[in-house]
């Protein structure tokens, strides 16, 4: 069965620091990859997605992610975080052409002002 | 467009009671999903419906039933609630045209005492 792991449970950064959140998945075939964000008390919103093509994808609010197929990774990055980026971040994988999404356990990001 | 809506927002049940969580989407999506979110475990798929008239089990279906009432509505029923079902429940919908990018509802916070 496919699985998704996220490297960090809780990340604490100061404003303006750079961010990288790790995500690895276990599936050898075609994948669609997603990063979702959940702000406190809110539902999940899509940050960015990868289906095919350029492995570096840009999303909303200055976030980007790089798909490295050989490493089964899809790490999320942002050059300079803001206090408003405090949230929980979920990596998700949709393997093949099925509809059975698998989410990672999430990484909580706390940005200190 | 309201997107994905869920009712109720909050619910407290006693062990053994039953209830139905309602979900509706107005995006004309074919696929709908029910997840539960527990701390440190990310989102786990309970059931999904690829299209009207079909439902399939996800990762954690035990103790739940679903009904795809029509294309818009997908309900989740707890027949005999247990404390282990205390969680936040999210409904989502998606469409093959967008490679199954999922749109989430605001969630239902359920406590079983």
With contact defined as beta carbons under 8 Å apart, do B20 and B75 qualify?
yes
Least confident among B50-59, B77-86, B103-112: B50-59
With contact defined as beta carbons under 8 Å apart, do A105 and A9 qualify?
yes
Q: End-to-end alpha-carbon separation of chain B, Å?
A: 36
Q: Is 80 exceeded by the pLDDT of residue A108?
A: yes
- Please report the pLDDT score of residue B59 as a whole number: 86
Minimal C-alpha gap between A106 and chain B (Å): 5
With contact defined as beta carbons under 8 Å apart, do B64 and B34 qualify?
yes
Structure tokens at A109: 């990001």
**Mean pLDDT throughout A84-111?**
87
- Helix, strand, or coil here: A27? coil
In B, which residues are within 8 Å of A101 by CB distance? 33, 45, 100, 102
Q: Is 70 exceeded by the pLDDT of residue A96?
A: no
Least confident among A37-51, A79-93, B6-20, B85-99: B85-99
- Please report the pLDDT score of residue A85 as a whole number: 97
- Please report the pLDDT score of residue A38 as a whole number: 93
Q: Is 60 exceeded by the pLDDT of residue A98?
A: no
Give the torsion through C-alpha atoms of A37, A10, A6, B46, to 10 deg. Answer: -60
* Biggest alpha carbon–alpha carbon distance for chain A: 42
Tally the residues of chain B.
113
Minimal C-alpha gap between B24 and chain A (Å): 15
Number of CB atoms found within 10 A of residue B72's CB: 17
With contact defined as beta carbons under 8 Å apart, do B38 and B46 qualify?
no
CA-angle at B79, arms to B100 and B58, nearest 5°: 25
- Local confidence band at A99 (pLDDT 50, 70, 90 cut-offs): low
- Local confidence band at B88 (pLDDT 50, 70, 90 cut-offs): very high
Mean per-residue pLDDT of chain A: 91
Q: Is 60 exceeded by the pLDDT of residue A97?
A: no
B105 at A interface, C-beta within 8 A: yes
Q: Is 90 exceeded by the pLDDT of residue B97?
A: no
- Please report the pLDDT score of residue B98 as a whole number: 67
**Mean pLDDT throughout A12-37?**
93
* A9, A34, A90 member nearest B101 (Cβ): A34
Mean per-residue pLDDT of chain B: 92
- Helix, strand, or coil here: A85? helix
- Local confidence band at B95 (pLDDT 50, 70, 90 cut-offs): confident
With contact defined as beta carbons under 8 Å apart, do A56 and A64 qualify?
yes
- Please report the pLDDT score of residue A31 as a whole number: 85
Q: Which residues are within 8 A (CB) of B10 and not within 5 positions of it... i.e. 6 or more apart?
A: B108, B109, B110
- Local confidence band at B42 (pLDDT 50, 70, 90 cut-offs): confident
Q: Is 70 exceeded by the pLDDT of residue A3?
A: yes
Least confident among A26-30, A44-48, B55-59: A26-30
**Mean pLDDT throughout B63-80?**
96
Number of CB atoms found within 10 A of residue B92's CB: 26
CB contact under 8 A, B104 and A44: yes
Structure tokens at A39: 């702000």
């Amino acid at each position: 069965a496919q699985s998704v792991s996220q490297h960090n449970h809780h990340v604490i950064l100061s404003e303006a620091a750079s961010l990288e959140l790790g995500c690895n998945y276990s599936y050898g075939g075609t994948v669609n990859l997603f990063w979702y964000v959940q702000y406190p008390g809110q539902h999940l919103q899509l940050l960015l997605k990868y289906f095919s093509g350029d492995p570096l994808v840009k999303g909303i609010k200055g976030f980007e992610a790089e798909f490295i197929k050989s490493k089964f990774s899809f790490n999320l990055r942002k050059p300079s975080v803001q206090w408003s980026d405090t949230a929980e971040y979920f990596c998700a994988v949709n393997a093949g052409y099925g509809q059975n999404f698998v989410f990672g356990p999430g990484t909580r990001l706390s940005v200190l002002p | 467009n309201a997107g994905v809506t869920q009712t109720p927002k909050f619910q407290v049940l006693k062990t053994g009671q039953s209830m139905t969580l309602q979900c509706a989407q107005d995006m004309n999506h074919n696929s709908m999903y029910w997840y539960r979110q527990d701390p440190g475990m990310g989102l786990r798929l309970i059931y999904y419906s690829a299209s009207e008239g079909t439902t399939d089990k996800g990762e954690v279906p035990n103790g739940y039933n679903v009904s795809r009432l029509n294309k818009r509505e997908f309900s989740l029923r707890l027949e005999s609630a247990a404390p282990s079902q205390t969680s936040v429940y999210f409904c989502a919908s998606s469409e093959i045209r967008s490679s199954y990018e999922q749109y989430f509802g605001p969630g239902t916070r359920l406590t079983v005492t």
